[in-house]
Amino acid sequence: MSITLKALKKSPWVFHVNTGACNNCDIEILDCLTPRFDIERFGIVLVGSIRHADVLLISGPVTKNTLPRLIRLYEQAPKPIKVIVVGACGCSCGIFRDGYNIVGPVDKYLPVDAYVPGCPPKPEAIIAGVVKVLNTLG
Protein backbone atom coordinates (compact mmCIF):
# COMPACT_ATOMS: atom_id res chain seq x y z
CA MET A 1 0.00 0.00 0.00
CA SER A 2 1.42 3.39 -0.95
CA ILE A 3 2.18 5.95 1.75
CA THR A 4 -0.39 8.43 0.42
CA LEU A 5 -3.18 5.84 0.68
CA LYS A 6 -2.02 5.04 4.20
CA ALA A 7 -2.19 8.77 5.00
CA LEU A 8 -5.63 8.96 3.38
CA LYS A 9 -6.85 6.29 5.81
CA LYS A 10 -5.60 8.48 8.66
CA SER A 11 -7.19 11.74 7.48
CA PRO A 12 -10.38 11.36 5.43
CA TRP A 13 -11.96 14.79 5.00
CA VAL A 14 -15.70 14.68 4.55
CA PHE A 15 -17.86 16.92 2.39
CA HIS A 16 -21.51 16.56 3.34
CA VAL A 17 -24.23 17.12 0.75
CA ASN A 18 -27.95 16.98 1.40
CA THR A 19 -29.91 15.88 -1.67
CA GLY A 20 -33.36 16.46 -0.25
CA ALA A 21 -33.21 14.69 3.13
CA CYS A 22 -35.49 15.70 6.01
CA ASN A 23 -32.46 16.96 8.05
CA ASN A 24 -32.67 14.09 10.52
CA CYS A 25 -29.66 12.27 9.09
CA ASP A 26 -27.76 15.57 8.97
CA ILE A 27 -28.23 16.01 12.70
CA GLU A 28 -26.97 12.48 13.32
CA ILE A 29 -23.93 13.19 11.13
CA LEU A 30 -23.15 16.28 13.21
CA ASP A 31 -23.51 14.11 16.33
CA CYS A 32 -20.35 12.29 15.23
CA LEU A 33 -18.38 15.50 15.78
CA THR A 34 -19.62 16.05 19.35
CA PRO A 35 -17.53 15.19 22.43
CA ARG A 36 -19.29 11.84 22.89
CA PHE A 37 -18.08 10.38 19.57
CA ASP A 38 -15.39 12.89 18.48
CA ILE A 39 -14.36 11.46 15.10
CA GLU A 40 -11.60 14.07 14.88
CA ARG A 41 -9.63 11.51 16.94
CA PHE A 42 -9.29 9.59 13.66
CA GLY A 43 -8.54 12.68 11.61
CA ILE A 44 -12.05 13.00 10.16
CA VAL A 45 -13.13 16.62 9.73
CA LEU A 46 -15.99 18.24 7.85
CA VAL A 47 -14.70 20.58 5.13
CA GLY A 48 -16.56 23.44 3.48
CA SER A 49 -15.34 22.99 -0.09
CA ILE A 50 -15.62 19.94 -2.34
CA ARG A 51 -12.07 20.59 -3.59
CA HIS A 52 -10.73 19.60 -0.15
CA ALA A 53 -12.83 16.46 0.22
CA ASP A 54 -11.83 12.78 0.24
CA VAL A 55 -15.27 11.43 1.12
CA LEU A 56 -18.58 12.58 -0.34
CA LEU A 57 -21.24 11.98 2.28
CA ILE A 58 -24.73 12.04 0.79
CA SER A 59 -27.97 12.07 2.74
CA GLY A 60 -31.40 12.05 1.18
CA PRO A 61 -33.21 10.70 -1.88
CA VAL A 62 -32.13 12.51 -5.02
CA THR A 63 -34.67 15.11 -6.11
CA LYS A 64 -34.99 16.51 -9.62
CA ASN A 65 -33.41 19.79 -8.57
CA THR A 66 -30.44 18.35 -6.71
CA LEU A 67 -29.49 15.70 -9.29
CA PRO A 68 -27.44 17.96 -11.63
CA ARG A 69 -25.72 19.56 -8.62
CA LEU A 70 -24.89 16.15 -7.16
CA ILE A 71 -23.33 14.91 -10.37
CA ARG A 72 -21.44 18.18 -10.76
CA LEU A 73 -20.10 17.93 -7.21
CA TYR A 74 -18.84 14.43 -7.91
CA GLU A 75 -17.12 15.62 -11.07
CA GLN A 76 -15.56 18.61 -9.28
CA ALA A 77 -14.09 16.50 -6.50
CA PRO A 78 -10.36 15.72 -6.69
CA LYS A 79 -9.91 11.96 -7.12
CA PRO A 80 -9.63 9.51 -5.38
CA ILE A 81 -12.98 10.17 -3.74
CA LYS A 82 -15.18 7.75 -1.83
CA VAL A 83 -18.98 8.02 -1.72
CA ILE A 84 -20.97 7.14 1.40
CA VAL A 85 -24.75 7.24 1.51
CA VAL A 86 -26.31 7.85 4.93
CA GLY A 87 -29.96 7.09 5.69
CA ALA A 88 -32.68 4.92 4.27
CA CYS A 89 -33.64 7.64 1.78
CA GLY A 90 -30.26 7.71 0.07
CA CYS A 91 -30.05 3.91 -0.02
CA SER A 92 -33.51 3.20 -1.42
CA CYS A 93 -35.53 6.48 -1.44
CA GLY A 94 -37.25 5.37 1.80
CA ILE A 95 -40.67 6.81 2.44
CA PHE A 96 -40.26 9.29 -0.41
CA ARG A 97 -40.14 6.44 -2.98
CA ASP A 98 -43.39 7.43 -4.68
CA GLY A 99 -42.81 11.20 -4.52
CA TYR A 100 -43.46 13.12 -7.75
CA ASN A 101 -40.08 14.86 -7.64
CA ILE A 102 -37.87 11.91 -6.70
CA VAL A 103 -35.55 10.59 -9.39
CA GLY A 104 -34.24 7.60 -7.55
CA PRO A 105 -31.62 6.47 -5.06
CA VAL A 106 -28.06 7.76 -5.23
CA ASP A 107 -26.53 4.58 -6.68
CA LYS A 108 -28.51 5.03 -9.89
CA TYR A 109 -26.13 7.92 -10.73
CA LEU A 110 -22.91 7.61 -8.72
CA PRO A 111 -20.66 4.68 -7.72
CA VAL A 112 -21.45 4.24 -4.01
CA ASP A 113 -18.83 2.70 -1.71
CA ALA A 114 -20.91 2.25 1.44
CA TYR A 115 -24.54 2.34 2.43
CA VAL A 116 -25.55 3.23 6.01
CA PRO A 117 -29.27 2.39 6.31
CA GLY A 118 -31.50 3.63 9.12
CA CYS A 119 -34.03 6.40 9.61
CA PRO A 120 -31.88 8.04 10.91
CA PRO A 121 -28.84 5.76 11.42
CA LYS A 122 -27.09 5.93 14.78
CA PRO A 123 -23.73 7.74 14.90
CA GLU A 124 -22.11 4.38 15.70
CA ALA A 125 -23.51 3.02 12.43
CA ILE A 126 -22.14 6.00 10.50
CA ILE A 127 -18.68 5.48 12.05
CA ALA A 128 -18.87 1.76 11.17
CA GLY A 129 -19.69 2.72 7.56
CA VAL A 130 -16.69 5.06 7.37
CA VAL A 131 -14.43 2.32 8.77
CA LYS A 132 -15.68 -0.12 6.11
CA VAL A 133 -14.99 2.39 3.34
CA LEU A 134 -11.49 3.03 4.66
CA ASN A 135 -10.84 -0.72 4.72
CA THR A 136 -11.66 -0.94 1.01
CA LEU A 137 -8.63 1.29 0.40
CA GLY A 138 -6.39 -1.68 1.18
135: nearest Cα among 8, 48, 18: 8
Termini Cα distance of the chain: 7
β-bridge mates for residue 58, sequence order: 17, 85
Spatial strand order of the sheet with 82-86 comes to 45-46, 13-18, 55-59, 82-86, 114-116
> Per CB under 8 A, which of residues 25..64 are in contact with other proteins?
34-35, 38, 40-43, 47-49, 51-52, 54
Q: Which stretch binds other proteins (CB under 8 A): 7-15, 62-70, 91-99, 115-123?
A: 7-15
- Name which of 78 and 111 has its Cβ closer to other proteins: 78
- Name which of 10 and 69 has its Cβ closer to other proteins: 10
CB-neighbour burial class of residue 29 (10 A; exposed 0-12, middle 13-18, buried 19+): buried
- Quote the least distance from Cβ 51 to other proteins, whole Å: 4
Q: Is 78 one of the binding residues for other proteins (CB under 8 A)?
A: yes
Binding residues for other proteins, rule: CB under 8 A, are 2-5, 7-8, 10-11, 34-35, 38, 40-43, 47-49, 51-52, 54, 76, 78-80
